[in-house]
Amino acid sequence: MVKSRFAPSPTGNLHIGGARTALFNYLYTKHHGGVFVLRIEDTDVERSKDDYVKDILGGLSWLGIHWDEGPYYQMDRMDLYREHAYRLLAEGHAYKCYCTAEMLEEKRKKALKEGGKPHYDRTCRDLLPDDASSEGKPFVIRFRSPVSGEVSFTDLIRGTITFKCEELDDLIIFRTDSTPTYNFTVVVDDALMGITHIVRGDDHINNTPRQILIYEALKYPVPQFAHVPLIHGKDRTRLSKRHGATSLLEYRSDGFLPEALMNYLARLGWAHGDQEIFSQQELIEKFDLPNVGKSPSVFDMDKLTWLNGHYLKTLPAEDIAGRLLPFLQRMGIEASPDGRLVRIVVNLRERARTLKEMAQMAEYFFRDDFAFDETARVKFLTAATRPILVDFAEGLKAIASTDEEESLKALIEGLTKKYNAKPVGIIQPVRVALCGRTVSPGIFEVIAILGKEAVEKRLTRAVESIQ
RNA sequence: GUCCCCAUCGUCUAGCCUGGUCCAGGACACCGGCCUUUCAAGCCGGCAACGGGGGUUCGAAUCCCCCUGGGGACGCCA
């Protein structure tokens, strides 16, 4: 039975990188029919915030990642960590250290400057437990790491990775304020929760040997590890705020569909032959760790946008219409999810790449008093085109319904003859009169959706705008 | 500085494990054409990569070594 987890710390929003790690965990687990756990690692009291927890949960839900267990909060599990730490202490796998943070910082700087390893010098490692001089002094608990030998593990993505124990530190597992640290809580929780597979960013490779040592000291079975490469920004460094590594939810408000984002994220670092489009179900069927690449990938907004356009075109129009509503609302347009809106979506989905764009394109379908695009107005609403618009309005009177495309075609054809113009010469002025811009769906569709009354009103308004 | 990881078109990647079918395939972007009532979409075509050097082999993108380059980690953060 596979059991995995996503264990973010609520010290920031859920961004693209975290979301992909969560996704890989989720897909891998579901592929193997396992259990996916969500655990919030909030032991950094200073920086953890409830708003971030909200953002993380919200982002995962929106993306379509559902957890089977949790969310667990580490702050609720303090007794467990304390119990385990004191067990290590009692068994000699850990010791109290009285060095102050300032002292350590100094030593670290000095070592680094001299080109050495900035490791703890193990001053307190062999202090007698009842040393009178340490009475009542604040202390931290350090893990007693072996000084020689090596630790190796088989990474599911990279193969065997080996570290020499000399490289490892006697890391702090309990702080002066008696709160536990990451490398310790992560082991205790993963062990207690029965996590079998740990899929995480490769920035954790260095932590793995230390954690394995703790598993062994605690006599818990060591899980399988898989380290996925980090996502990079355009400058090929770790994704950060500079690269727009903001909340995943920002993509939602920018008009992206979770289907597109999930598809894109999955393909970032993973591939299944030449296939580009995957539904969530298909991802679960096809995703597996051995196919995950080893090298970091760069986030490409263009490709995400393309995928989003694809889903806009292929998801049911009714569905898209529903999702468009909040974007219209944000523009002050109260639309209802009716057949008319669906018709609008069907016409705009070929052109828009995001819901936000689509809403902007849809504006004139809901407002008679839109502003004319200045360039379009100057070019197409002129003394020369005025009679065309007048004639068009006149001809429209004879047509019973704007759904009569043949009649409208005939009307335009007639005008092309009268004015010795190409169809575009008639259509563009009409388009600007009806939409306020030179770009829109096919003119017959626009007219049909608008309906006779609105078309007449707009033609009149356009004609009157020409002095 | 030390340790760890990585290395195919501008980007995401297939191929690498199980060498030949790869003068390297797909996708995004870009360029051109077709279609056309605008803009898109769609279709067709084009540009474009195995970091370098040594091996091994009849033969290497594929296996081995070195170099270079890039990234990550060295916290009483996670």
Which two three-digit tokens encode residue A149?
Answer: 């030998």
The CA R_g of chain A, rounded to the nearest whole Å, is 32
Whole-number distance in Å between A397 CA and B65 C1': 85
User: HSE-up of A66 (CA within 13 Å, CB side)?
Assistant: 5
Nearest residue for B13, CA–C1': A271
How confident is the model over A361-392, as pLDDT tens digits?
A: 999 999 999 999 999 999 999 999 999 999 99
Catalytic residue flag (residue A422): no
**Closest nucleotide over all strands to A118 (CA to C1'):** B74
Give the CA distances from residue A270 to residues A299, A339, A456, in Å, rounded to whole numbers and listed in that order: 13, 40, 54
Name the residue closest to the C1' of B3 by its CA: A167
Instruction: Give the residue with minimal CA–C1' separation from B41.
Output: A350
- Range of lowest pLDDT (A20-29, A131-140, A381-390, A410-419): A131-140
Q: What is the mean pLDDT of residues A300-319?
A: 97
Q: pLDDT, tens digit, for every residue of A212-241? A: 999 999 999 999 999 999 999 888 888 877
Query: In which band, very low, low, confident or very high, does the pLDDT at A285 lie, cut at 50, 70 and 90?
Result: very high
Chain B: nucleotides below 7 Å from protein CB are 1-8, 10-15, 25-29, 37-42, 70-78
A118-152 core/surface letters (b: 16 or more CB in 10 A; e: else): ebbebebeeeeeeeeebeeeebbbbbbbeeeeebe
The helix/strand/coil state of A174 is strand
Distance in angstroms (rounded) separating the CA atoms of residues A435 and A344: 13
pLDDT of residue A131: 62
Separation between the CA of A351 and the C1’ of B31 (whole angstroms): 21
Does nucleic acid strand B have an atom less than 7 angstroms from the CB of A271? yes
Percentage of chain A exceeding pLDDT 90: 84
Residue A406, Cβ neighbours under 10 Å: how many? 9
- Return the percentage of chain A with pLDDT > 70, whole number: 98
Tell me if residue A337 falls in helix, strand or coil. coil
Closest CA to A74 of A46, A47, A41: A41
Cβ of A255 near strand B (under 7 Å)? The reply is no
CA of A258 to C1' of B76 (A): 40
A276 touches strand B (CB under 7 A): yes
- Residue A153 β-bridge partners: A161
Segment A377-430, tens digit of pLDDT: 999 999 999 999 999 999 998 888 888 888 899 999 999 999 999 999 999 999
Structure tokens at A452: 């006779």
Total count of residues recorded for chain A: 467
Q: What is the dihedral of CA A87, A90, A95, A97, to 10 degrees?
A: 90
Catalytic residue among A117, A164, A234, A241: A241
The percent helix, strand, coil of chain A (3-state, each to 5) is: 50, 10, 35
* Closest residue to B26 measured CA to C1′: A274
Flag whether the pTM goes above 0.80.
yes
Q: Which nucleotide is closest to the Cα of A97 by its C1'?
A: B76
**Residue A7: which of A76, A84, A80, A67 has the closest Cα?**
A67
The yes-or-no verdict on residue A244 having pLDDT over 60 is yes
The four Cα atoms A297, A303, A308, A313 give a dihedral, to 10 degrees, of -140
Is there contact between A410 and strand B, defined as CB under 7 Å from any strand atom? no
Least confident of A139-143, A189-193, A439-443, A463-467: A463-467
